[in-house]
Amino acid sequence: MSNLEKSVSSALMKLGISPNNKGYYYLLKAIDICLKSNDISVNLSKYIYPEISVAFNRSSDSVERAIRFAIHRGYVHRDTEFASTVFGNTLQSEYDIPTNSLFVAALTEWAKQRR
């Protein structure tokens, strides 16, 4: 596991998403795909969910649902200071939960800055 992968893994756990959740691994893969892509805005539904679904032998809907569940479930237990660093002012209030696309995009940008 590279230092960047370790950083992203640690970031997910700081955001309340633990490895005992399927969505954790899907998010790791989604961020990895985005980091390797040269396109700034990668469409989750069109490109990333299908690629993850093939890698994990699941349906795209199942992948989307697992990621959404992981974000919603984990965000309650997040490190609020770290979440503020990653998401900045993209959320309306501290009680807002990021969408799948916002979560992946923000964490990808955070990871790019850590390179």
Structural domains present in the chain: 3-114 (1.10.10.10)
How confident is the model at residue 49, as a pLDDT?
Answer: 95
Q: How far is residue 86's CA from residue 51's CA, in Å, rounded to a whole number?
A: 25
Predicted confidence at residue 13, as pLDDT, reads 96
Q: List, for the chain, all residue ranges whose pLDDT scores fall below the cut of 70.
A: 1, 40-41
Q: Is 107 exposed, middle or buried (0-12, 13-18, 19+ CB in 10 A)?
A: buried
Question: Which secondary structure element, helix H or strand E, spans residue 104, and what is its range?
Answer: helix 100-114
Decide: 106 and 49 in contact? Cβ < 8 Å. no
Torsion angle defined by CA atoms of residues 43, 45, 49 and 53, in that order, rounded to the nearest 10 degrees: -140
The span from the CA of 79 to the CA of 12, in Å, is 10
The pLDDT value given to residue 90:
81
pTM of the predicted model, to two decimals? Answer: 0.92
Predicted local confidence at residue 1, as pLDDT: 66
Helices and strands (H and E) in the chain: how many: 6, 0
